Amino acid sequence: MVNLNTPPCSSCGQALPTPEPVKLFGRTFVVGASVCAACVVEAEVQPRKKTAWERLCPKLYQTTDIGRLENGLRELGYDLCWLRDVLAWQYGSQGLVISGPTGVGKSRVMWLLLQRLLDQEHRSAVLLNAVGFRTRLQLAGRDGTIEEFVRRLVRTDLLYWDDLGQMHLTGSASEMLLHVVEERSNSEMPILATTQYSGEGIDAQFERKEMGKAIRRRLNEFCRVVVVRSVADQTELSIVAANSIARHEGYARRG
Q: What is the per-residue pLDDT for 5?
A: 61
At what angle are helices 130-143 and 146-155 packed, to 10 degrees? Answer: 140
Query: Tens digit of pLDDT for each residue in 203-242?
Result: 887 888 888 899 999 999 999 999 999 887 755 444 444 4
Query: Tens digit of pLDDT for each residue in 113-164?
Result: 999 999 999 999 999 998 899 899 999 999 999 999 999 999 999 999 999 9
pLDDT band at 4; cut points 50, 70, 90: very low
Domain residue limits, the chain: 1-46, 52-233
Cβ density class 135-155: b for 16+ within 10 Å, e for less: ebbeebeeeeebeebbebbbe
What's the rounded mean pLDDT across residues 78-100?
96
Nearest partner of 51 among 128, 116, 105, judged by Cα: 116
Q: What is the per-residue pLDDT for 29?
A: 66
Nearest partner of 19 among 28, 6, 9, judged by Cα: 6
Tell me if the domain spanning 52-233 has CATH number 3.40.50.300: yes
Q: What is the pTM of this model?
A: 0.73
Comparing 3-17, 165-179, 227-241, which segment has the lowest mean pLDDT? 227-241
What's the rounded mean pLDDT across residues 77-90?
95
Q: What is the per-residue pLDDT for 44?
A: 59
pLDDT band at 45; cut points 50, 70, 90: low
User: In this structure, are residues 79 and 234 in contact, taking their beta carbons and an 8 Å threshold?
Assistant: yes
